[in-house]
Amino acid sequence: MGGITEDTLYQGRVTLFQPEKGFRASTDSLILAAALPEKPGGDALEVGCGCGAALLTAAFRLSQMRVTGVDIDERMTSLAQQSVSSNQFEDRVCVETGNAAEWVRDKENRFDVVFANPPYFEPGRISAPGAEKAGAYLESLSLDGWIKAMAFAAKPRAPVVIIHRAAELARILSVLDRLTGEITVLPIASRHGEEARRVLVRGRKGLKRGQVHLLAPLLTHTVEGQASSELNAVRHGEAINW
């Protein structure tokens, strides 16, 4: 099974327990948390929370909201719950184990914000990853089904926010276009002039179709290879203005 490490995010303000090997907290998790709007007194949901990197940082940022995370991997949800306790978030953060498509069935129109960093590859599309990474990198639910589960759980007009591979943008938009409106895409690139490898995509449930807003890219590094001011702001727990 491998060991567990105790790490911190947001300059030591958030504690995270995570596997020593396999998928670990990444810039994607922090960017996703930074992309979420806060609705005081409301409820947020992360579909596929893993060990809780985005979940815990989102809970820290959205300090006036209740936050729920669900994941199919019981070992990951156990680690996420351990982190919830360590950060003393028990009064407003809940972690549950289950398949997203089944878990949301009795939770239609319940959440004010729904977010996810879905697994990046379909089984059979890439060489099999190591056992430690399989749960994080391979879809247990198709991306289409993942997005539909997210939208199902969101309240009408609530934002649905995803970070994913830029190569899957067309696939993401084809589903969101049927379920949401006011779609906004924020490409994420390492440096000026480089191709975006990630995209943040946000849509609002049930709104009429409209034009898709494609923003200028968020750059994570300078030409010299240093972390950009935008990335440093995300690492400090600040919101992305998009």
List, for residues 121-166, the tens digit of each pLDDT value: 554 443 443 444 444 433 457 899 999 999 999 999 999 999 999 9
Strand partners, 114: 45, 160
Give the pLDDT score at 136. Answer: 40
> Which pTM value belongs to this model?
0.90
Question: Mean pLDDT across the stretch 83-93?
Answer: 98
pLDDT tens track for 22-52? 777 889 999 999 999 999 999 999 999 999 9
User: Which domains are delineated in the chain?
Assistant: 4-235 (3.40.50.150)
Question: Mean pLDDT across the stretch 189-217?
Answer: 95
Question: Mean pLDDT across the stretch 110-117?
Answer: 98
Per-residue pLDDT for 120 more than 90? Answer: no
Concatenate the DSSP letters of all residues of 50-116 into one string: TTSHHHHHHHHH-TTSEEEEEES-HHHHHHHHHHHHHTT-TTTEEEEES-HHHHGGG-TT-BSEEEE
Question: Mean pLDDT across the stretch 110-126?
Answer: 77
- CA geometry: angle at 128 spanning 100 and 190, to 5°? 80
| Average confidence score pLDDT of the chain | 91
Per-residue pLDDT for 189 more than 70? Answer: yes
Give the pLDDT score at 122. Answer: 52
H or E element at residue 95: strand 93-97
